[in-house]
Amino acid sequence: MYGRLVEIEGLDPSRVEEALQNIRENVIPALKEIDGFAGFISLMDEENRRGRSVVLWETREGAEEADRLMAPRREEMVRQLGATVRSTDLYEARIVEVQTGVRA
């Protein structure tokens, strides 16, 4: 399994809910259409104006295909929020433990 860690800086706290709604309604459904999608975690630090997302993929190929398809969309969404993408690094996920049925 692989995880892409997307680091966002300069988030306007007043626009966090707008960003989360866009992720729920547009980004995650689009990711689900790509082979190998395995999960999405969004982490927010409003005080420091930072957001992190971990997008989980069954294979490196799926993660790379998703980044090729979604990177322009991600950049545009973040730019519209007045923030910047700091990094989008891909890691091998050596341990993934998630309780089924648990949702934020």
Q: Is residue 97 part of a domain?
A: no
pTM attached to this predicted model:
0.88
**Number of domains within the chain:** 1
Q: Give the residue carrying structure tokens 């999960």.
A: 39
Q: Which pLDDT tens digit goes with each residue over 25-51?
A: 999 999 999 999 999 999 999 899 999
Q: Is residue 88 part of a domain?
A: yes
How many Å apart are CA 72 and CA 57, to the nearest integer?
A: 19
* Res. 63 pLDDT band, cuts 50 70 90: very high
Which CATH number covers residue 51? Answer: 3.30.70.100
Does residue 104 form part of some domain?
no
Q: Do 4 and 54 meet the contact criterion of CB atoms below 8 Å apart?
A: yes
Quick one: CA torsion of 93, 99, 100, 104, rounded to 10 degrees?
Answer: -90
- Type of residue at 18: E
Q: Look up the domain containing 72 and give its range.
A: 2-92
